[in-house]
Structure 1
Amino acid sequence: MLINGAGIAGLALAWWLERDGHDVVLLERAEPGRAAGYMVDCQGDGYDAVDRMGLLPRLRRHAFTLSALVYHDPGGAVREVLPSDEVAAERLISLMRGDLEGALRDDLRGGDLRFGVGVDRLDDEGDRLAAVLTDGSVERADLLVGADGFRSHVRGLLFGSARHCVRELGFHAAAYSFTDAGLARSLDGAMHLVDAPGLQAGGYPVTGDDVSTLFIHRAPPATPRPEDPRRELRARYGHLGWLVPELLDRCPPPAAVHYDAVAQIELPAWHRGRAVLVGDACQAMSLLSGQGAGMALAGAAALADELRRDVPVGTALARYERRLRPRVRELQAEARATAEEFVP
């Protein structure tokens, strides 16, 4: 089995496939040591998936609970406070993306995990696929899984241009983390957001002395992503007061900033031949749903379940898609319904 992408979906699928006795090669184009990124929620179907994996005790060591969601006006005055019991959900655990990926990676049973390399192109050899990698080597596998995220290269190889499958929701978002003990304490365990017309910016304390940020602004569909996220964030949010200038001053180099359009992926099919997509590569729901990480975990578990059956590969892939697609469509529709109210 060849998995392209060692994010949440790819790592979770490798975890299941290893335990089912498959030889797994897991590829990740990025180099190791990426930043922790941003907060993700494992809730609902995703919570059930990590519970099945026996990982809840480990994840709880990295989890945190925000005490409240506090909205401020552009000058910093408190506008509204939502205590945690008003925003909490059942079967929910919140942690940093990097901690979730680290827990999944550390619980693999060895396998072949390669950083700095990914699938470049594919050749169909009938009973297997030949994948030419970015380092020029060739891997042959019974199944190729594209777990390479919202901008999936494998999806492009299977189905062509992304333009037909990306539905932008009219926002750009950015997130990054940094260490500042004083600022972390001043946030008093809550997420603080500053609102202005078309903008929302803020920060929240995470484990230790770390602070994570969230910036969201309206951007018409097809607005290009900036070459320099730091410059864009300072231009967009620099007029806001309170803690926002301090957050902007701590913005790391562009490579450490997660910046992208808030968008969904909608495909008529998730598999072709001996290749299949999982996670954001086929089911991205956008951060508005709060379900992306959880459904990546649920999708990996569902795919592993179907591959475990004594049926042809094509049948297993079709069953996986039929099983998961209704839930993905439901969550995508819910996210779209909240888009207009998401940022004032």
Structure 2
Amino acid sequence: MATKPRAIIVGAGIAGLAAAWWLDKAGWTTVVVERAPAIRDGGYIVSLTGACRGTVDRMHLKPLLDEVAYTFDENVIHDSRGRELLRIRYEDVSGGVEGLALCRDDLARTLAKALPESATLRFDETLDDVVEDGDRITATLRRSGDRLEADLLVGADGIRSAVRQRFWKDVNCLEPLGYNYAVYDVEGREGLGSDCISFNSPGHLDVLYRLRNHRLAALHIWRDDHHAPLVLPNRPAGFDVLRDVTSGSKIEIVKTVLDRAEQKGCATVIDDLTMVNLPCWSQGRVVLLGDAAHCLTLMSGQGAGMALVSAEVLGKALMAEKDVPTALASHERKLRPVIERLQERSRTMAAMYIPRTWWRYYLRNLCLWLLPHSWVVQWHANSVKTEIDLTQF
């Protein structure tokens, strides 16, 4: 019996785990290498809509994801003084399209549970050396020293991908959107009053939403005119940054939640909103997936979903094509037009939802106050429909 081809996948996030699942369907075995000691905790809520819903169904994940999914009734939007601007019911803007709202780490853990026997997870491990020689990839693991032979290397290791830095070292592919973000969750959700509440001021957005087990999650997005990568040496430094960016806030609940998270030493994801633009996603037998290839940022609302779709497209291309480079080219040819449309949308969404200047902020708020509620709801519904339509093939 012929030996199955093997892929080394770097990164046990959504893209990497989904790739392992779909490569199994294509007749491959995989080794997933992850630098963290386990599936990473934390991350913001992701929404699975559009083309990825078909991917979820074909992976038979819907029953498992329903167990950890959230149902949010409405988002109550406030201005910088805490005055209510608008209530948006999600059922009014969904356009009847069924979606799944999940914590990113819950989605990743569900994918890990669904992995076939052909996939091996190697946690607390990184690549020390990689050599591509003809039709073979030889990789050495740093901690164990193990040497792996493979037919394909998949870089699914995030926006600051080590695989991309190794094989695309001379390509300047990072495009800052001019904003930073932070997300964490903390015990206690008193005073929230709704499933989700948000507070907006010029160049700043705070969002608080309910989680299960009497916890809430906080998302902060703020303007950054320096366009420099956010480098934080440790967790306290992250809270120092958040303390500074929320110092002018008049919203007590935002400060209270931040105080509680700092006192409890909560894990915090904090980074800049940066897209990845590459002229190509593969070289020889090396391919990038998910944020490593085409980070859309959380502004798109489609990053996790397109990581799932990309893994499916890759798996089916490898199934249809005998030659690996040809399969990788087919994967990119099908997916790139969708990604480019979503990236163009991401460039405009931040400015719309987080106005940078006071006059744009007041103009936006004036429109929310004066326009009929049905018009505003319809605008949001059209925005959701546009996001879904962009992901269709």
Q: Which residue of 1 aligns with 2:101?
A: 94
Which among 119, 128, 131 is matched to residue 123 of structure 1?
Answer: 131
Which among 106, 114, 137 is matched to residue 146 of structure 2?
Answer: 137
The amino acid that maps onto 2:67 is R
* Offset, 1:48: 1.5
Check if 1:248 corresponds to 2:255: no
Which among 298, 302, 309 is matched to residue 298 of structure 1?
Answer: 309
Q: Which residue of 2 aligns with 1:57?
A: 63
| Structure 2 CA distance for aligned equivalents of residues 66 and 221 of structure 1 | 35
Check if 1:179 corresponds to 2:184: no
Q: Which residue of 1 aligns with 2:366?
A: none
Q: In percent, how many aligned pairs have the same letter?
A: 37
SS in 2 for 1:132: strand
* Larger displacement relative to structure 2 (298-307 or 21-30): 21-30
Check if 1:237 corresponds to 2:242: no
Which among 75, 86, 89 is matched to residue 80 of structure 1?
Answer: 86
Contact 2:76 2:194 (C-alpha < 8 Å) held by counterparts: no
Which among 110, 114, 129 is matched to residue 107 of structure 1?
Answer: 114
SS in 1 for 2:208: strand
1:73-94 residue CA offsets vs partner (Å, 9 max, x unmatched): 2332222221223443524111
| Structure 2 CA distance for aligned equivalents of residues 3 and 61 of structure 1 | 28
SS in 1 for 2:29: coil
Check if 1:261 corresponds to 2:272: yes
* Offset, 1:109: 2.2
Q: Which residue of 2 aligns with 1:159?
A: 168
| Structure 1 CA distance for aligned equivalents of residues 225 and 266 of structure 2 | 24
1:92-136 residue CA offsets vs partner (Å, 9 max, x unmatched): 111101110111001112331011112233212212011122223
Moved over 6 A (4+): none
* Offset, 1:161: 4.9
| Structure 2 CA distance for aligned equivalents of residues 232 and 78 of structure 1 | 27
Contact 2:140 2:146 (C-alpha < 8 Å) held by counterparts: yes
Contact 1:62 1:207 (C-alpha < 8 Å) held by counterparts: no
* Offset, 1:138: 2.2
Contact 2:154 2:287 (C-alpha < 8 Å) held by counterparts: yes
- TM (norm. structure 1) is 0.93
The number of residues matched between the two structures is: 340
Q: Which residue of 2 aligns with 1:214?
A: 219
| Structure 1 CA distance for aligned equivalents of residues 151 and 88 of structure 2 | 50
Q: Which structure has the greater CA radius of gyration?
A: 2
* Offset, 1:172: 0.4
| Structure 2 CA distance for aligned equivalents of residues 336 and 33 of structure 1 | 30
The amino acid that maps onto 1:74 is S
Contact 1:38 1:177 (C-alpha < 8 Å) held by counterparts: no
For residues 176 and 281 of structure 1, do their structure 2 counterparts lie closer, same or farther at Cα, with a shift above 3 Å needed?
Answer: same
The amino acid that maps onto 1:40 is V
5+ residue gaps in structure 2? 1-6, 356-393
Contact 1:74 1:242 (C-alpha < 8 Å) held by counterparts: no
